[in-house]
Chains A and B, each alone.
Chain A
Amino acid sequence: RKEVEQDPGPFNVPEGATVAFNCTYSNSASQSFFWYRQDCRKEPKLLMSVYSSGNEDGRFTAQLNRASQYISLLIRDSKLSDSATYLCVVNRLDGYNKLIFGAGTRLAVHP
């Protein structure tokens, strides 16, 4: 079993739709959580960190449930420019900063 699991997608949604991505992690020692965005043939870029209290950045909302070891990302009012692969990432912070990535969920927003 992979340490970080995500829906593989692809998710094909129309502009303006709301889309939710789910992610689970298996190592309870994981301490930090992130969503990264990766455009085709580009490097991953940090979208947002995820906190137990939940956090929001404009149209994006991230939630963390430590008891269930579950992370989510909600995108409201999807734009064409949101089309990308979304990577769920955890970090154990056991003295080192080693990111563990999920395989990513691909999102395609169409007109």
Chain B
Amino acid sequence: DAGVTQSPTHLIKTRGQQVTLRCSPKSGHDTVSWYQQALGQGPQFIFQYYEEEERQRGNFPDRFSGHQFPNYSSELNVNALLLGDSALYLCASSLGQGGETQYFGPGTRLLVL
């Protein structure tokens, strides 16, 4: 049973660039949530996708956008990268919008120079 997978594992970008991160949910799960974890902090909720729509959003600017595909996989896009966007980006999957247990992928570590 495949767990949550994310790609790439590491990424280095420069300020102003754009980045796309990818996530495949755990088999059988249909909901994907994205979190940003800065060094020394807990993960912060970015947004959640269910039925290919963004259902809820945290306190992140419009530079952060996403997409969910019919196979439930998801992408996170960040435009006009800032130094402060350097973080571990985590994807979590669950079953249904109200599914309590979220399973996290290994994350993508983004460094913005």
Contact = CB atoms under 8 A, between A and B. Distances in A.
Chain A: interface size category: 20 to 34
B42 A97 contact: no
Interface string A82-96: 000001000101011
B90 A43 contact: yes
A44 interface: yes
Contacts of B45: 98-100
Interface in A18-60: 32, 41-46, 49
A109 interface: no
Nearest to B4: A43
Contacts of B107: 42-43
A88 B41 CA distance: 12
Chain B: interface size category: 20 to 34
Nearest to B6: A43
Contacts of B41: 103-104
Given A44-B43, A87-B42, A97 B100 contact: yes
A95 B97 contact: yes
A95 B56 CA distance: 10
Contacts of A44: 43, 90, 104
Contact of B100 (A4, A32, A100, A104): A32
Contact of B33 (A41, A45, A98): A98
